[in-house]
Amino acid sequence: MQKIIPCLWFDDKAEEAAKFYASIFKNSKIGDVTYYGKEGYEIHGGKEGSVLTMEFEIEGQKFVGLNGGPVFKFNEAISFQIHCETQEEVDYYWNKLSEGGDEKAQQCGWLKDKYGVSWQVVPIALIQMLKDKGTEKSERVMKVMLQMHKLDIKTLKQAYEGN
């Protein structure tokens, strides 16, 4: 059993969100579902028989989606990074996850999906370029990256090479 499992608080869309994420990531699956019962309605307000929690797994990482009502909202203080090897992979995840999301929240490879969850679609090449000890190269990459919404590997490599 995974020791630490992130729990994502949704208003009432945990099941829909879990299925959405599972449709995007090839290595994913839907897990167990729990339902609200009669007990505690005056506290939680969940309709009897509606989904309380939805377990799902993406790329070996387990999650729980909780339908907790409109009390809490997601913000950018927590995000999930997707490390991508190719531009095609960057484009795929960016396009799928940003569909219906908040376009104003797209900056430097970050996006907010239609459920309010923040994602970072990050080329592995960017991580390697930013780790370069030659600060001039990494500074050029940083400057270019800060101007982007979806990250473009070719443009980042050109900045790295000084072109």
Reading the chain (163 residues) residue by residue, the pLDDT tens digits are: 889 999 999 999 999 999 999 999 999 999 999 999 988 888 888 899 999 999 999 999 999 999 999 999 999 999 999 999 999 999 999 999 999 999 999 999 999 999 999 999 999 999 999 998 878 999 999 999 999 999 999 999 999 999 8
Closest of 97, 94, 82 to residue 148, by C-alpha? 94
Let me know whether 31 and 89 are in one domain.
Answer: no
What CATH number is attached to the domain comprising 61? 3.30.720.100
Cβ–Cβ < 8 Å for 158, 150: no
**Among 46, 67, 88, residue at a domain's last position:** 67
Domain count of the fold of the chain: 2
Domain termination site, one of 44, 67, 90: 67
Structural domain boundaries enclosing 152: 79-161
Handedness of CA 145, 148, 153, 154 (dihedral sign): negative
Contacts of 49 (CB under 8 A, 6+ apart): 35, 36
